[in-house]
Each structure stands twice: as C-alpha cells, then as structure tokens.
Amino acid sequence: MTARDPSLPDPFDRLNGRIVAEHRPWPRIEVQTDAWAKAADRLSRGALTLLGLWGESHVVHMAVADTNDPSLILVLSLTCPEGRYPSVGRVHPPAIRLERAVADLFALVPVGPPDMRPWLDHGKWGVHAPLAAQQNDAQPAEEYGFLPVDGEDIHQLPVGPVHAGIIEPGHFRISADGETVVRLEERLGYTHKGVEALLQGADLQRAARLASRCSGDSTVAYGLAFAHAVEAALGWSPPTRAVRLRALMAELERLANHLGDVGAICNDGGFAIMLAHCSVLRESVLRQAAACFGHRLMMDRVVPGGVTTDLDAAGSARIVGLTGDIRRRFQRLIDLYDKTASLQDRTVGTGVLKPALAAQFGAGGYIGRASGRLCDARRWPGYAPYDELEFEIPVLQEGDVNARLWIRVREVEQSIRLIEQILVTLPDGPIRTENAIDPANPPAEGMAIVEGFRGDILAWVRIDAAGRIERCHLRDPSWFQWPLLEAAIEGNIVADFPICNKSFNCSYSGHDL
C-alpha cells in the first residue's frame, strides 16, 4: 500500500498551480478553477480522498490524498474574490457539510451544490458569517427545512438536541415506517464555540490551549495535531523523549476512550454489567494519567516544542502496573461479551456500513477499519515515534456494530503493546525545546494529520511573523463519519438507533467547532 504502483494513473497529474513555498510538510498550490474542478472530479471517481475543506477570507482550501497511497497529500487553494467557487459537494457528497460550514463562517458560497441550507449557523450568533472579510449583520433566521420524506404511514420522530441522558446535544430527525427507519437526518452545530475565530490572532500558548479544547475526549490528539502543524511550519523538532511521551499519552487516551466505548455500547444493548466493569477500567487509566501527568485527560500536556510534564520512574512503574491489570481484566470482559448470545444478537448485523461508502467518505478510525478500510494516520502518512514501534492495524469487513466493537477491542490490545514498547525504550533527555520566533521570518504554514481515538485529525496553521496564529483550521474525523451514521441506520429499527450511534460515537464538540 505504501509503495506507489506505477501502472496506476497519477491522481495528481496536471493539478497545476503556483507552489506556496512556506507550506510544510506537504505541498500547497494555488490553483485556478479548472484544476479545482479536476480535483473534484477525481474525488468523485475515488482516485483522490478528501481530507478536508476549509475557508479563509476570499480563499478556499482543500486537502486531498492519493487513495492508493494516503501518504501523498496535496492542498489546493482557490482564490475566489467574488466569494464564489465551484462546488465539490456537487460531485462528491463528503464535501457537502464542509462547504455548508465554510459558507456559514466565511460567506464563501459554493456554486451548484445539492444542499444550500446553513449548517453550523442556527441563526443565533447575532452576526452573519463571523469570519468573512467584511462583517455582516445577522439575517433573520429562516426555518430549517428537513429533507422531505414521502410515503404513506411515515411518521417523524424528533430526538434531541436535549436528551434524556447526559450526552452532547444534537438533533436527529428520524422518519420511520412503523419501527423501520426510512431516513435519519442529523442536525448539528449546537456546541459551536467559535474555535476558529478565537484562534485567530492568538499566540502559540493560547492557541495550543484552544486547540486542545476542541473535543475534550481527544484533547491529547488535538494538542498533538496542533503541535505537529506548528512544528512543521516553524521547522522545530521536539526532543526524542517528548516524542515518546506524546505517543504514550496518545495511547493512554485511546485506551481510556475505547474502554469506555466498549462498555457504553453494551449498555445501550441493555447489558449494564459491561459498562460497570469497563468504566472501572477506564477510571483506572484516568487516575494513573492524573498521577503521572497531573491531569486525568492529560489536557495541555502536549504543546508545540514538546511536552510540559515529564514522567518519573514511579510513573513508569504505575503505567506498567496499569497495562498488566487491564490486559488481565479486559480479556475476561471480552470473553463475557463473546459468550453472551443475547448481547451478540443486538450487535451482529446491526447498523451495517458498506465498505464502498466508508471508502468514498474516507472514514477513519474504527468506523473505517470496521468497514474494510485499511487506514491509520499513525502509519499513513505516519509520524514519529510510530515508525520505530510495532503495532498492527485491525481491519474487518462486516461494518456492523459488532465489528466496530471488535476493532476497539483489538486497538486496546495494540495500545497496550505500544505503551509497553514506549516505556521500555523511553530515552532520557529534555522534554521541550524553546525556540525563539524570528521576527524576520515570513509567515509560515504547517499541516499535520494525527490519529486520535476516533480517527484522523487534521490541523492546518498559518503563523505570522510575530508568532501569532493568522489562521488555524482543525478538522475532526467526525466530519466524515456523521454522514455515514445516516446511511448505516437506514433499514434498521428505531430502537436500534442508540446502539448504532454509540458504536459510531462521533464527536459533537469537535465537529461543531
């Protein structure tokens, strides 16, 4: 997969434009509409995979990767002085929500998209397109029209944004024929915090704090993505010990989240004992994280240039004890899951996501890997220290709730393997390099893709000469996973929606920005 097959056509062929020198590590080119349209066409034919689409005043950027070799990445930038650009979503549906978000924030309007409704903007901001070149007053909010569903005896079931349980807010409009779901339509944006606006003009320290708060459960991964992007832009290289400690924290975070998810999925099948036991394991991870790094979620521990907290020998011993403990106890829980037929009956064959759709949307994480997509940002494009560590990437073809649960189980095992390798090979040395920002430097741009527990997080920054963030975009993996939930639930029964939703466990906060 990593080696390019020369017989395949080059998906980047004749995507020409002016190369932006200060963009690292992958090339960024300023293109005209014809190259932009060509890239959209290749996305729709599957030769390219969409990584992200974001705006800036008068410019729209799109990151794409070669589908056959996801390490080959290109950013296309299209200047649109009129505020209009050819829609990618018209031919490639994964881009639709991204384009709607760009229109809400920057007033850059795609031409010819199938869906022009606002997405993040619910008409409650008091301002229209807050990041656009010129500020506009808020327009009176129009009634949000849900997609019509035709048919006799179809009834609608509005669920959320306020739920009976304590979960994040999101609205789900379920159209059902009796108990069978005919269509699910999501409406998100309730947790919009204005992260991108807050990031503009922030210094690196504040920006790192903001980036880590995009989605609290992935705070290490977000911090890492932001740090990688800044380090790429400024040419910093963090010390080896810091790189290893970052990976350690990232794997602990993955471990905690996957353990919690396995229990929560079973609980949604009415099997509370798994939740109780998995919660105990998750809690033990969080407590050790607090003991070793001073914060349960390890928030703000990863910063550009390194990490802020070192791990002492006692901490190492604690984590070794933790992994041994989880290894022993988790296996028994998995045996329990495997042997409980009534629970398997709920998860096997429920909420099937077809591999073709997962590939089209470039879905990362357990959602993509449970639907036959071999992907992991730790290997493609890859980053240190994972090139020196051994781990397997589990892939299943079934795409049902059961498969997504098993991917998590396997990843728990792999994370434990990684943690043990990291602890054994942890070198001594400093944990942070302080680099001064040279005011003579031109603006620098950096990009990074990091594997969070949900999938690949993309971070893109431009830093001005004073070392402040000029523009930063953070793309959560959920952007390409939420739409797939709508597809996976179709034809299932209404009562199975929670277990499907939990098996996806997409981020609201990371998506709503």
Partner 1 sequence: MGITSALAAQFGQMLLVLALAPALTGLTRKMKARLQRRIGPPIFQPYRDLRRLFNKDVVLADNSSWLFRVAPYLIFAATWVAAALVPTFQTGLLFSWAGDLIAIVALLGAARFVQAVAALDTGTSFGGIGASREIMIAALAEPAMIMVVFTVALVAGSTQLSTIAAFMADTGGLRVSLAMALVALIIVALAENARIPVDNPSTHLEVTMVHEAMVLEYSGRHLAMIELAASLKLLLYISIIACIFFPFGLITDGAGLSAHAISLAAYLLKVTAASLLLATLETVIAKMRVFRVPNLLGVALMLGLLGTLLLFVSGGM
Determine, following the binding rule CB under 8 A, whether residue 184 of this chain makes contact with partner 1: no
One residue of 273, 290, 374, 466 binding partner 1 per CB under 8 A:
273
One residue of 92, 192, 246, 277 binding partner 1 per CB under 8 A:
277
Region for 20 from its dihedrals, namely left if φ exceeds 0, alpha if ψ lies in -120 to 50, beta otherwise = beta
Structure tokens given for 265 = 């999925």
Residue 84 DSSP class: E
Nearer to partner 1, 272 or 290 (CB): 272
Burial (Cβ within 10 Å: 0-12, 13-18, ≥19) of residue 122: middle
Per CB under 8 A, contacts with partner 1 among 141-170 are 155-159, 163-166
Structure tokens given for 303 = 């910063």
Per CB under 8 A, contacts with partner 1 among 449-508 are 493-498
One residue of 21, 111, 197, 280 binding partner 1 per CB under 8 A:
280
- Helical (H) or strand (E) element with 320: helix 313-339
For every residue of 233-291, DSSP letters joined together read HHT----HHHHHHHHHHHHHHHHHHHHHHHHHHHHHTT-HHHHHHHHHHHHHHHHHHHH
CA nearest neighbour of 499 among 271, 162, 337: 271
Nearer to partner 1, 40 or 352 (CB): 352
Determine, following the binding rule CB under 8 A, whether residue 82 of this chain makes contact with partner 1: no
Tell me the closest approach of the beta carbon of residue 347 to partner 1, in angstroms. Answer: 9
Nearer to partner 1, 445 or 496 (CB): 496
Which distant-in-sequence residues (6+ apart) come within 8 Å of 88 by Cβ?
A: 36, 39, 40, 43, 50, 53, 62, 95, 99, 110
Determine, following the binding rule CB under 8 A, whether residue 345 of this chain makes contact with partner 1: yes
User: Do β-strands 109-111 and 84-86 pair in parallel, antiparallel, or remain unpaired?
Assistant: parallel
Nearer to partner 1, 13 or 345 (CB): 345
One residue of 13, 34, 82, 179 binding partner 1 per CB under 8 A:
179
Determine, following the binding rule CB under 8 A, whether residue 340 of this chain makes contact with partner 1: yes
Stretch of 21-29, 174-182, 233-241, 419-427 contacting partner 1, by CB under 8 A:
174-182
Count of positions on this chain that bind partner 1 (CB under 8 A): 34
User: Do β-strands 59-66 and 48-56 pair in parallel, antiparallel, or remain unpaired?
Assistant: antiparallel
Stretch of 79-87, 110-118, 134-142, 271-279 contacting partner 1, by CB under 8 A:
271-279
Query: Applying CB under 8 A, which residues contact partner 1?
Result: 155-159, 163-166, 174, 178-179, 266, 268-273, 275-277, 280, 340, 342-343, 345-346, 493-498
